[in-house]
Amino acid sequence: MNRQRLLDRFLQYVRFDTTAHEQSSHYPSTPGQLELGRLLAEQLRSMGLADARQDEHGIVTATIPGNLTGRCPVIAFNSHVDTSPETTGAGVQPQVILNYSGGDLVLPGDPTKVISVKSCPELSTCHGHTLITTDGTTLLGGDDKAGVAIMMELAQHLLEHPEIPHGPVRLLFTCDEEIGRGTQHVDPSQLGAHACYTFDGGGRNQIDHETFSADLAVVTVRGVNIHPSIAKDRMVNAVRIASSLLERLPRELSPERTAGRAGFLHPYTLEGGVAQVVVRILLRDFETSRLADHADVIRQAAGVTEAEFPGCSISVEIRKQYRNMSEGLIREPRAVQYAVEAHQQLGRTAELTIVRGGTDGSQLTEKGLPTPNLSSGQHNIHSPLEWASLDEMLAACEVGVEIVRRWGADCST
């Protein structure tokens, strides 16, 4: 595995502004995703993958041909090119720290931003690593450009080492994963894969085999706007009404007060003014059936609030997002089993983990393509305190090699 090439790719990719935009009606939602996708397709073709292409939706695919005879299972790897809209991804200035020796990391673009060992204990396991941080003014984009770089290095390595036995390997780079649209234009039947793996997890040696199930509630509060000077008994302030509604949501169901397998309601955007406010609320739970219960909590709060403020109206729209991948992984147990065995082959112990979020793998699995999620060296994602470990990214590449080798052993003559 080429360590410097992996680093160079990652530093190149994070400088593309690929921030997803939820309010856009386009796919991808921002032009930077198309730009990065074009580069990836060009680089894949330069490696010799003649079928590498970017489709009309910005999705990039390519195939590494198998080098074994007989009928071999096809596997796929996936990562997404977009970054979270929660922190800007424009003008990313990555900082490379060689041979990290411990201690807190003060970020040069904003010295008030400090990645501390206390708040991020994973740093204590990374002594001697090459770390990449932001400068403190943007996110880094390791979610998921670490995965993008890992896949590109994995592809290059397999092509440079034909002695590694493997069947066909499909590569899939999606857009707009961060806003729940990553697989909107992906047809698993066209990939033709038996299983897929997303490189979109944190740290190292983890295999995410469960995710949240997820819905989105769009709550629209309509009031009556009028000049404040003549507002008595006439104005119905949607901002005040929305605040009252949110106050009625149980705080014990917030992400700030839940962990492990406990689900939550998470209001994350509020937009509008006196006449109308739109609130978006994430509904999350590992048990899919509980999403309906969470939706009822919102509807009940809306009904009580609407009655409290005569003249207003409140609508609640529930939009399905993704489902717990564990519900689909049972259809192809080799997907997780072979990832575990890949770690064992490297002398590592894989940890089967649950992720309090979702990946493209959640939706691909629901579409019939079993897709667990693998570590890719990401830390503090969606934040100006984000950082990544090159050593953990390299370790992920090695796991990818062993996964393709293990599936290759299932070729039949």
Q: For residue range 256-284, list pLDDT tens digits in order.
A: 999 999 999 999 999 999 999 999 999 99
Enter the pTM of the model: 0.88
Residue 22 pLDDT class (50, 70, 90 cuts): confident
User: Taking residues 381-396, what's their average pLDDT?
Assistant: 97
What pLDDT sits at residue 23? Answer: 87
Tell me: pLDDT of 70 over 90.
no
Residue 180 pLDDT class (50, 70, 90 cuts): confident
Rounded percentage of the chain residues whose pLDDT exceeds 70: 100
Q: Is the pLDDT higher at 331 or at 45?
A: 45
Residue 193 and residue 392: Cα distance in Å, rounded? Answer: 26
Tell me: pLDDT of 173 over 70.
yes
Residue among 362, 368, 361, 373 at smallest CA distance from 400: 373
Tell me: pLDDT of 358 over 90.
no
What pLDDT sits at residue 297? Answer: 98
What pLDDT sits at residue 413? Answer: 59
Find where tokens 């009655």 sit. Answer: 307
Residue 75 and residue 371: Cα distance in Å, rounded? Answer: 10
Tell me: pLDDT of 327 over 90.
no
Tell me: pLDDT of 412 over 90.
no
User: Taking residues 217-232, what's their average pLDDT?
Assistant: 97
What pLDDT sits at residue 298? Answer: 98
User: Taking residues 49-73, what's their average pLDDT?
Assistant: 96
What pLDDT sits at residue 322? Answer: 87
**Is domain 213-321 annotated with CATH 3.30.310.10?**
no
Q: Hey, what CATH class is 3-211+324-408 in?
A: alpha beta
Q: Where does the chain hold its CATH 3.40.630.10 domain(s)?
A: 3-211+324-408
> ω before 8 within 30° of 0 (cis)?
no
User: Taking residues 60-85, what's their average pLDDT?
Assistant: 96
Centroid of chain to Cα 96: 23
Q: Where does the chain hold its CATH 3.30.70.360 domain(s)?
A: 213-321
User: Taking residues 108-130, what's their average pLDDT?
Assistant: 96
Active-site positions? 82, 177
**Any idea what DSSP says for residue 208?**
E
pLDDT digits 0-9 by tens, 94-112: 999 999 999 999 999 999 9
Residues whose CB is less than 8 angstroms from the CB of residue 18 and which lie 6 or more positions away in sequence, other chains included: 30, 32, 33, 35, 36, 81, 82, 83, 89, 141
